Chains A and B, each alone.
Chain A
Amino acid sequence: MPLLTRTLTRFRRPWTAVLAGGIVGSAVRTGVSYYLPAAPGRMPVATLTVNLAGSLLLGFYLARREQTVTAPLSLQFWGIGVFGSFTTFSTFSIEVVHLLGQSQAVTAIAYIAASTVGGLTLALFGQRLGSVIR
């Protein structure tokens, strides 16, 4: 049995699996935000990156989950913990507010469009990818 599966079966309560996954997802998101610092009035590249990548990965994971047998609490660890907390809506919202406040309406609209249209497209693509591979 793979190490992760073995570890997940040891979790007694679902929320502990969410916590463990949340540490991984939040760590990567925080790391990305340090490597891609936000500049005032510019497109928030770090949040855009994690939100697009997270949408792709969650779509892929959920499609794979329907195809294969997963460990107990796999959904809590990966879906809710890792990929859920890797992405963020609160930071996205306040960044839009900041851009609008700095009279960067065009950048704000471009950011919203890139996040939502891109996120939906990548989530669909991830789902498709996860369901076609064997």
Chain B
Amino acid sequence: MSTSFPAPVQRGRPSNVLASLERTRLGLGRLIASAFAAVAPATVVFGGATGGWAVTGVVQMPLAYVAVAVVLAVFSVGYVAMSRQIVNAGAFYSYITAGLGRIPGVAAAMTALQAYTVMQIGLAGGFGYGMHQTLLAFGHDVPWWLLSGVACVVVAVLGLLRVDLSGTILAVFLAAELVIVLVFAAVHIAHPAGGVTTFDALSPAHLSFAGMAVAACVTIAGYVGFESAPVYSEEARDASRTVPRATFITLLVAMVVYAVGSWAMADAAGPGQVVGLAATHFSELPFVLAKPYLGEVWLDAGHILFSTSLFAAMLSFHNTAARYTFALGRERVLPSAFERFNGAGAPVWGSVTQTLLATAAVVLFAAQGWDPFLVLFFAGTVLGGFGVLLLMTVTSVAVLRYFARQRPRRDNFGAWATVVAPVLSAVLLAVVTVLTVWHFDLLVGVPATSAWRYTLPASFAVAAVVGVARAVYLRSMRPSAYAGIGQGAPDLGTAIALATAAPAGPIGATGPGEMTGRGR
């Protein structure tokens, strides 16, 4: 978590040790697959885009997918440069700690935890709804909450058994998902509304700032997961090359699939009607549009893959959030019980907490009769996306400040990665953040007078304040734990300065303890 690997050849003498470790590490393909598990193309195109139209009423969702991918790519330039400096499995949190200090770092950790948790809860509802629609297509009417509940139980078991959908199974499902999304897109494009292909959904004309910002926030939720490659930088083969590549390839592929898939739907429905149709059919929209032209088998396959995609994403966020609690438990930011893992190596209490929260949300929504798609799935995932937007904004500032203090490193990466890109992404993301907060009612589809438009974004402020309070408490009561924040090691009653920087590459050997003793 702290020291990263030097290159296999050091001082001209080949190292058997480094060569043997090199063989065990993750390649580019595995990194991309792990990012895509959370990205889940079918969930985003069938659920996210249609939900976006239905709730926000902004036609230009496809344009937003393209624009946001560009902004995220700019963000990633500084982000992956940072990942070569700080190797820690809790990326956003440790970068903010390194750049801005421990107190903002813990605030960020709490925000991240909330964002990923809300995301997981939203996907639990989304799975119930998607599976409900799938079973309806097969002629069975099973209530969504029962299906969500079953998913919570299955995810709980898989989470505790430490099952990650990874490797071959995941790759097969992802490939199938991509194929089905593109097949639907092809059918939609072949049959545009009124027989005329239009590009209105990709045109910024008639688009207000508010609409753009809200659409941007909706689409960011679809990209969450792209940030996972640096989390594995310690496990990746030739991390300085594979991690940036995995990040940019994930963004590019996701952008193409999202933009094409959603534009094709807008084209088939007609730009004038797509919002209205989405508000009637929700995630069934692509199926309704394709039904006259596609065989039953394809529609069934689409339904099934939509459900599996939601499930994979839910499991992925469950595990991410559980691991986050584990990392925070180790550093004593959360109670030490979260540090425990079971015989399978799963962070027990983190996993159990996620299951309890998701189950409670499903029970609450079922009891109150609230909408599982528009509110639980859409508002939940978008709220999670908003949290990640906040984190990315602060991370950009952290990257900028980190490199501003580390002259030799800045020279090593160049001004584009360490100054220009972070400034640019910080400004762009901050603009989106401010506009989104301003128009939060549009984002989650509540009346402009509703209190939810204030309480939902404010919940992240509460999480951040809790984080600040905890950090201040640790600083005065447990200085050794405070010193270890963001270091990836547990509090052993001693502030051992573990090297936080990668000695790899031409940066040269970096001294230990640059993180400690700064008295933050």
Tell me, yes or no, whether A binds B. no
B residues neighboring A (CB under 8 Å):
none
